[in-house]
A and B are shown apart, each in its own frame.
Chain A
Amino acid sequence: MPKPKSPFTRRSFLKTTLAAAAGAASLPITSHAFRRPTAKYIRYNVTSEGGQKAIKSYNIAIEQMLKLPPTHPHNWFRNAFVHLMDCPHGNWWFYVWHRGFLGYFEETIRNLSGDSTFAFPYWDWTTLPEIPAGMFDGVLTPTAAPYAHYTRTLDVFTAFIQPPMMAYWDTLSPAQRNQLNIRGYTDFKKMWNEVTGNGDPSNQAFAITAKARYLTRENPKLDEDTYQNCKPSTILSGLSPTDFYNETVSLSFTSKKTESHNSMPERGAFSMLEGLPHNIVHNYIGGVTNIDPGPYGNMTNNLSPVDPLFFLHHSNMDRLWDVWTRKQQSRGLPILPPEPDLDTLKKEPFLFFVNGKAKFVGDSTAGEYLSMERFDYEYEPGGFPNTLLQTRSARQKRGQVQVKGTVSGNKATLSLPSASIKEHLATSAAAASLVAEVTVPNPGLSSPTREFHVLVGAPADVTEADPKSPYYAGTVAFFGNMSHAHGSSADTTFAVPLPTAPQAFKGLAAATTSVNIRIVPAYGRRQTPAVLKAAIVRAV
C-alpha cells in the first residue's frame, strides 16, 4: 500500500516554530513548501485495510503484555499506571504528553507483535460513531477472558499489581516525587485511593472484567448526546482557533496554561476538542449516564489505558492536532505559542514514560514531542475533516458559486452548476460543500408553527420529511422570547447544508441543474402555512 505524503518536513516544522516564536503570521506558505517524501510509519483509519491489519498486530502484542510479570515495565497494567500517575488533562500539555505516551507505546507494540510496520490506527468517531467492530475481538476488549485472571475482583488485582507498584514507587526520583506531590499523590496510599475510589464507587479507576467496558458488540453505538460532541460542526469549531494557546478558551486550540502538567484542572479551562469529544467518548464508553453512580468501566477513569480502545481514541485526538497544525501552516499562521510561552511549554519535564525496549525514558521534556517526527509517523488521509486542508485556491474557486433562487410561496427554484453539485455529492455528509441560506419570516409569537423542515429536490407530493429522507436538509426554528424582544416581523436567515443524497438532484448531465428548495412546517404542524422569503446557495 503506497504511503501518502505528509505536508511538512522537519525543516518546515522548525521554520514555522521559529515563525511562531517571532510572532510572525504571514509566511508565504504554499501547500508544496511542507511536503516531504514519506514518514516511516503510517497511522491508518481503523476501518481501512491498513487499520484492520494494525489491530491484529495490536492484539498479538496485548496478549504478550498480559502475560508479562507485573514487575515488567511492559506489563499491560503497568503501562496504564503511567497514565494514572502522570497524565495531564485540562491543561495545554494534554496533546503533547499523550503524543509521547502513544509514541513510546507504539514502539512497544511494534517490538512485541513482531510487526515492524505497526502504527496505531485512529478511530474517527465523527464518521464512525460506534466502537469499531474489530475492537471486540480477542483481547482488544478489557472484558475478554484473559483479563479476568488479573481483574476479576479488586482483591485479585490488588494482590497482583500493588506490590510491584509499591516497589516501583520506592525507586522514584525526587523530581518524580515532586510531580506526584503536585498531583496530590503525596504518598503511595493516596495514589492507590484512586484505584479503589476510597469508598466512592464513581471515583474507582479499577473495573472488574465483566464491567470493564460498557459498550458491547451488540450495543456498540455512541448515543445522541455523545455524538453531538463529535459532530462535524463541533470538530470544525474546535479546530477554528488560530492560537495554540489563548487565555480566552474559546479562542485557544489547547486547554489552560497551568504551572505543571500535573496540575489538576480545578478552575481551569478545557479546549473545545478536549472538553467535548475527548471527554465524553471516554466517559460514555465507561458507562457514564447508564451505570451511574458507578463503578464505571476503565475508560471513564485514569486507568483508561487498560481498555485497548484508549489508544485508538487518542490516536484520533493526535490526528486532530495534526489537522490543526497543517491548517495553521497552510494559512501562514503559527503552530506554537510565541516566546516566552514556547519555552515554558517545551521545558516541562515528562518523567514517567517507558520506551519500546522496556527502559524508563527518564528525563525528557515536552519539547521533544511537539513534532510527529520524533516518532516518525503520519496519518492516512481521509478522516474528518477532509475539506479543511484544501488549498486556498480550491476554496476560492468554490467560493465563487453563489446562486440566488426565484421564490414563490414556500418554494425557491435555483439553477446550480452541475459540477458544483457533483463535487458536493462526492463529499461525505459531514463535509457538505453546498449550503443553502434560507430566509424565513418570523411566524410571530402566537403561531403554533415555529419550526420548519427544509427540503431539497423533493417531488411535489412529498410534504413531510425526517432526517432519514434523501430530501431532508435540516430544521430551522424560531425562539419565542427573541421575537418578543425584537418584534415579530423580522425575517431570519438560516444556513442549512444541502443533502448529499443523489435523489435530491436530477439532471446532472447538463451544465446546470434546476434545484428546488421548499420549507414545510415541521412535525406535521400545519396550522400555519410556511413562507420562504429568499434562498441562496453558496459553495463553502
Chain B
Amino acid sequence: MHTLLATLIFFALLVQTAGAPGRVVTLVLPRDLSADEGAAVEVKVGVIARGAQIKVETTAGKLLGVISPYGIRSGDEAGTYPIPVPAEAISNKRVSLRITLSYNRSKRTPTAQEVRSVQLKITPSRQ
C-alpha cells in the first residue's frame, strides 16, 4: 500500500505569471483521492538566505503553509518540505498554487535554484 502510494508522483506545470509575485504551479493527480487519502505537496528548496521563507498558497489566496528553514548551515540547500493540501483545494484532480519567497519585508518570485521542484503526492488520511 505504502509502496504504491510512494510511487504516485505527479508532474507539475510551472508557469511564471505577470502581475502578482510568485510562481504559479498547477499540479495534477492521476486519479481522484479515495475517502481515506489526503494530499501533500513536496517543495524542494535550494539555497536561500537565512530568514527567507517560502510561502505556498492556492491561487485563490488560501495559505497552505510556510517553509521557514531552521538548523541549516549557511550556504547549504534547505531541503524538501511536505505541506498538506486540503481536499477542498483540489478540484477535478487539480490544484493551482502560488509560491513566493519573502525576505526582509519584500516578496518576490523564487528562482529555479531557490525552489527546485514541487510535487503533489497522495498521503494517508488524517483520521
Contact = CB atoms under 8 A, between A and B. Distances in A.
Contact of A248 (B38, B51, B103, B121): B121
Contact of B82 (A224, A266, A272): A272
Contacts of A264: 71-73, 76
A499 B27 CA distance: 31
B53 A490 contact: no
Contact of A265 (B5, B71, B83): B71
Given A243-B2, A495-B88, A279 B65 contact: no
Contacts of B62: 477
B125 interface: yes
Interface stretch (A117-125, A290-298, A405-413, A419-427): A290-298
Interface stretch (A228-236, A502-510, A528-536): A228-236
A477 B66 contact: no
Given A184-B73, A270-B79, A292-B104, A237 B38 contact: yes
Interface stretch (A11-19, A31-39, A47-55, A478-486): A478-486
Contacts of B70: 89, 278-280, 282-283, 300
B53 to A, nearest CB: 7
Contacts of A247: 6
Contact of B104 (A246, A293, A480, A483): A293
Interface of A is mostly: mixed
Interface in A462-498: 476-483, 485-486, 490, 492, 494-496
Nearest to A304: B70
B76 A292 contact: no
Nearest to B63: A228
Given A289-B102, A292-B103, A237 B79 contact: no
A540 interface: yes
A450 B58 CA distance: 14
Interface string A274-310: 0110111011100011001110100010100000000
B12 interface: no
B72 A265 contact: yes
A481 B66 contact: no
B113 interface: no
Contact of B92 (A280, A294, A477, A486): A486
B6 to A, nearest CB: 4
A200 B60 contact: no
A233 B84 contact: yes
B30 interface: no
Contacts of A300: 51, 70
B64 A250 contact: no
Contacts of B109: none
A237 B38 CA distance: 8
Contact of B65 (A229, A271, A288, A495): A229
A436 to B, nearest CB: 11
A241 B12 CA distance: 23
A200 B51 CA distance: 12
B105 A292 contact: yes
A289 B53 contact: yes
Instruction: Give the one of B42, B59, B69 with max A CB within 10 A.
Output: B69
A282 B64 CA distance: 19
Interface in B74-109: 74, 76-84, 86-88, 91-92, 94-96, 102-105
A226 interface: yes
A268 B126 contact: no
Given A240-B38, A272-B82, A288 B51 contact: yes
Nearest to B39: A250
A312 to B, nearest CB: 17
A397 interface: no
B34 interface: no
Interface string B36-72: 0010101000000111010100111111111111111
Contacts of B96: 479, 481-482
Instruction: Give the one of B51, B53, B69, B91 with max A CB within 10 A.
Output: B51
Given A203-B50, A240-B38, A264-B73, A233 B126 contact: yes
Contacts of B67: 275-276, 279
A250 B71 contact: no
Contacts of A496: 88
A239 B126 contact: yes
Given A202-B49, A237-B126, A272-B84, A267 B38 contact: no
12 contacts: A87-B71, A202-B49, A225-B53, A238-B84, A239-B126, A265-B71, A268-B79, A269-B42, A276-B67, A292-B103, A482-B96, A496-B88
Q: Which 3 A-B pairs have the closest CB atoms?
A: A89-B71, A237-B84, A202-B50
Given A246-B2, A272-B81, A486-B91, 11 more contacts: A225-B53, A226-B66, A228-B66, A229-B66, A250-B40, A265-B76, A272-B40, A278-B70, A279-B69, A395-B127, A479-B94
Interface of A: 87, 89-90, 184, 200, 202-203, 224-226, 228-229, 233-234, 236-243, 246-251, 256, 264-272, 275-276, 278-280, 282-284, 288-289, 292-294, 296, 300, 302, 388, 395, 450-451, 476-483, 485-486, 490, 492, 494-496, 540
